[in-house]
Amino acid sequence: MLEQIARTPVGYWYLKRIAPQLDSTLLRLTGGRVSSVYPVPLMLLTTTGAKSGSPRTQPLGYTKDGDTILLIASNYGKPNHPAWYWNLKANPKVQVLAGKNSGTHIASEITDRAERERAWDLALDFYAGYADYEARAGDRKIPLIRLTRIS
């Protein structure tokens, strides 16, 4: 039901404008266990700014792939990659606040064709709306990022 709501114009607006504001606080207060869209898994991802070198934190949805975390750099289907994507490309060591998945991770983009197709299927199982984002993104191929815990 949450997914159906999220794919409506009102749901899209909520997820883009309201939820990130609420979730930053909720996730911090609960150690990354509860968000405004609970039980959908959300995290606080802290990257290092590609240009500034300053920490940048944002709430993101994620799905698990074995022992790793899968992030989808959809940027709501915009034609450009999200800022956090460029930050982790420049500085792949990130901090994750997501309950038992919290810790320091290393980010790597999934570029192998077969592995990417499998990961994209996992992403669509997590949220079918990524297909909408892919259509909106036009020629932009949505990056898939694997986070592997290092501590």
Task: Identify the H or E element spanning 46.
Answer: strand 42-48
**What pLDDT is stored for residue 30 in this prediction?**
83
- 70 token code pair: 């899968």
Q: What is the DSSP string of 58-116?
A: EEEE-EEETTEEEEE--GGG-SS--HHHHHHHH--EEEEESGGG-EEEEEEE---HHHH
pLDDT in tens, 9-30: 767 677 777 777 788 888 888 8
pLDDT in tens, 35-69: 777 677 889 999 999 999 999 999 999 999 999 99
Mean pLDDT for all residues in the chain:
90
**What pLDDT is stored for residue 13 in this prediction?**
73
Cα–Cα distance between 29 and 64 in angstroms, integer? 22
Q: Is there a contact between 63 and 71 (Cβ–Cβ < 8 Å)?
A: no
Cβ-based neighbours of 33, under 8 Å, separated by 6 or more: 27, 99
pLDDT in tens, 85-102: 999 999 999 999 999 999
> pLDDT class for 5, splitting at 50, 70, 90?
low
Residue 3 has pLDDT above 70, yes or no: no
Q: Is there a contact between 120 and 133 (Cβ–Cβ < 8 Å)?
A: no
